[in-house]
Structure 1
């Protein structure tokens, strides 16, 4: 047992679930073997507790580090905060500068609020939007966090969120009185949304701009039109998609403006900062309710975000990671074809992934993770691309992946893949990372 797994066993005895984020649980990757903990990280390299170096061709801290780990200018800005002081009785001036910067990037928006995690930013957006619309009903499409308002979709219908990336989720602890307040609709299913608006008292439409597929022609504009016609607040959740394919929100590419947008993950390159931006007429409703938290006023988050935005703009990171992601996707397809394998690719270019269809899919994912770990990679079937995934890094990754695909081809020809595993098959249940 490696040091990481030993510590993970200790963690599960004192922390429910072992950690704070489902996506980082070792069982989601390689049960009993995954290193679990890191000692340091730089660029695209992560060192575990035994100082073994691994190239991260996986989730890059679940999408937070589009500039790579330890970006010099971002870290320098944060060190300046540590020297000058992170918290005081007075406010951090950088939050004003960040609000102005985000509004300037999104001319339809006029105001911003900040938090430190995506779930709470989405909860803030829902609170404001409900206050602004005067109606409780929310139509949702996508994954929007862990708070009660969202998990209420599974009250009375345990399968309510099955098509929204959290299959089988039990809403234990969510007040039963919230049943009938949140209504899922499928992406690109305009008729389902129209039915919800007709049948329910919908005051808010909250959706991801794009998930695993592109919007159908006219879909986003039609959603905008429905919201306008019924006085509904339209929120685009760009916690994951923001700053990956455009300098700002993905919605800028499609030319459809929401009433509010939520940003997170990439905004601080690993430092905690999330944002809710919106039209003044909607955002002013925050003053009619209570939304307030001490640590939303700390200084590191906005300083890191401002430095990250500067660094992104300097290297045009969204163009770099989009092109790299497309190259990785193409090479997966070519490598699979060369071994006679069928794969399905998915996701935004900079959040690319693949799966091997069939019942053996989870087994193959586990086998890939296992063999790539032996080769010095944190890797599975998804790559969250960063600017440090340079061509030589990608080339070496595919050199290591080639024999693994060859092994899978042998299994497709009759070899038992489970006999090749050194431990259990990885868990599933969070489809974005499957």
Structure 2
């Protein structure tokens, strides 16, 4: 059992000073096992992370929440950022890297003519929705999946209970979102073309956009993606693809390139800058042109490090054919987990994009079983959860070490499930699902 006293003391102090503990829900220690999960890092390099107490871990968990697609402290990306810093991050003039990045993104996506940049995924999604509304002069949005914390999205939960519960996050309270936005956002499930058709039938005349990820936890059913394109066209809605998670993971560029789907706009972040803040909205000229006439502006969207990091990340990702490596690693992880589930008689769902594997325990107390798995993997010097995001720095040896440790950890989980005492074996707390207040 590791000493993580510094990390736990840090968490106690954070609770008094930072509402919600973390700036990102996915990094809250209670999402893993509060009291056991170290929570804070002092250093990260390649695939290794060191906590505040100096413990070293192989990170086979959330990989910077999918942002560090090449690996931590990648020397090529960090070197490009250092050069950018050396030449000045900000001035009264604009940085030329913006145009270079816009040209590169439009080269990778020949259907796109223009690009706008931000620094975070959620704000880029809000930017895209505003452009679509400006282009169409309409208010309503149909969406599938998780797209951030902004008002346009959380409006789906106003007066409707938890309409977002099937879209990655449950329990998202629209507290603080203007009640007047009720009825402006309507969810539909992935691969459910009939649900989208019903939204188009009811709201088509006022439908500004159809927003969705090209893929996330499942492959598109035959005819689904072409059907979405056809429905959007039938009512003049703008088709926006959220590539924040899938982009620059399955291929160099957006995952939609693999599916033959041509959107009107696409949004990138996360892997785009390998951990440095950068986001992009690209689109067809006639749609993006609306951005000239609606107010979308921010000082820090003009700083230099984001575009510099993106150019270096895309260049290395392309040069190294990183997508192929990520797919091989992810396939080995998924196949290995399925074999271990069968070996230990554990009912588990294993799926997701290959480089972004997720699994869940199907019965017993899934939250306690998850926390027990986290605990057992930490005891074997591995950061792990029910998500396993691949980075280019990972090797097949890393995957082998992960699966060997998972074999031992899942044996303990299976025993606890059979005995019905998973929570009693925890040194910390059971994991928390959805959005709940962290005490």
Q: TM-score by structure 1 length?
A: 0.97
1:227 CA drift (Å): 1.3
Secondary structure of the structure 2 residue equivalent to 1:159: coil
1:158 and 1:169 in contact (8 A); partners too: no
Q: Distance in 1 between matches of 2:201 and 2:172?
A: 28
Return the offset for 1:191: 1.2
8 A contact 2:171–2:435 mirrored in 1: no
| 1:146-184 Cα deviation digits (max 9, x unpaired) | 011110011110221111122121100000000111111
CA distance in 2, matches of 1:408, 1:18: 29
Q: Tell me the residue number matched to 2:251.
A: 246
Q: 1:9 aligns with which of 9, 12, 18?
A: 12
> 1:355 Cα deviation (Å)?
1.1
Please tell me whether the aligned partners of residues 350 and 360 of structure 2 are also in contact (alpha carbons under 8 angstroms).
Answer: yes
Matched, 1:86 2:58: no
RMSD: 1.2
Distance 1:165 1:85 in 2: 39
CA contact (8 A) 2:332 2:399 kept: no
Match of 1:215 in 2: 220
More deviation, 4-13/252-261: 4-13
Residue 223 of structure 1 and its aligned partner are, at CA, apart by 0.7
Equivalences for 1:200-349 in 2 at 5 Å? 200=203, 201-349=206-354
Gaps of 5+ in 2: none
Q: Which moved more, 1:30-39 or 1:93-102?
A: 30-39
Equivalent pair of 1:58/1:382 in contact (CA under 8 Å): yes
- The CA deviation at 1:322 is 1.1
The equivalent of 1:97 in structure 2 is: 100
State the match for 1:418 in structure 2.
423
**Which residue, 139, 161, 172 being the options, matches 1:169?**
172
CA distance in 2: counterparts of 1:186 and 1:87, whole angstroms: 43
**Contact 2:264/2:283 (8 A) holds in 1:** yes
Match of 2:149 among 146, 164, 189: 146
SS in 1 for 2:166: helix
d(CA) in 2 for partners of 1:64, 1:271 = 8
- Counterpart-to-counterpart distance in 1, 2:13 and 2:421: 33
Deviations along 1:218-242, one digit per CA (max 9) or x if unpaired, are 1000110111121110000010110
Deviations 1:98-117 (A, max 9, x none): 00000000000000000000
CA shift at 1:362, angstroms?
A: 1.1
398-407 vs 233-242, greater mean Cα deviation: 398-407
Who is 1:132 aligned against?
Answer: 135
CA deviation after TM superposition for structure 1 residue 36, in Å:
1.2
Q: How far apart are 1:309 and its partner, in Å? A: 0.6
Greater mean deviation of Cα atoms: 410-419 or 281-290: 410-419
SS at match of 1:91: coil
In structure 2, C-alpha distance between the alignment counterparts of 1:355 and 1:182, rounded to whole Å = 29
Is the Cα contact below 8 Å between 1:267 and 1:274 reproduced in 2? yes
TM-score (norm 2): 0.96
1:192 is matched with which residue?
Answer: 195
Whether 1:121 aligns to 2:124 is yes
2:53 corresponds to 1:50: yes
**Contact 2:369 2:417 (8 Å CA) reproduced:** no
1:62 counterpart (39, 49, 65): 65
- C-alpha separation in 2, matches of 1:103 and 1:308: 16
- Deviation, 1:415, is 5.5
Name the CA distance, whole Å, in 1 between partners of 2:352 and 2:302. Answer: 34
- Note if contact 1:133-1:203 (Cα within 8 Å) is conserved in structure 2: yes
Secondary structure of 2:419 counterpart: coil
Partner SS for 1:162: coil
List 4+ stretches of structure 1 deviating above 3 A.
Answer: none
Q: Using the alignment, how far apart are the partners of 1:245 and 1:134 within structure 2?
A: 35
The answer to which of 354-363 and 178-187 deviates more is 354-363
- Deviation, structure 1 residue 41: 0.3
Equivalent position of 1:397 in the other structure:
402
Distance 1:89 1:106 in 2: 31
Mapped to 1, the partners of 2:356 and 2:94 lie a distance apart of 35
CA contact (8 A) 1:65 1:266 kept: yes
Q: 2:33 maps to what in 1?
A: 30
Contact between 2:172 and 2:435, CA under 8 Å: does it hold in 1?
A: no
Tell me if structure 2 keeps the 8 A contact 1:86–1:300: yes
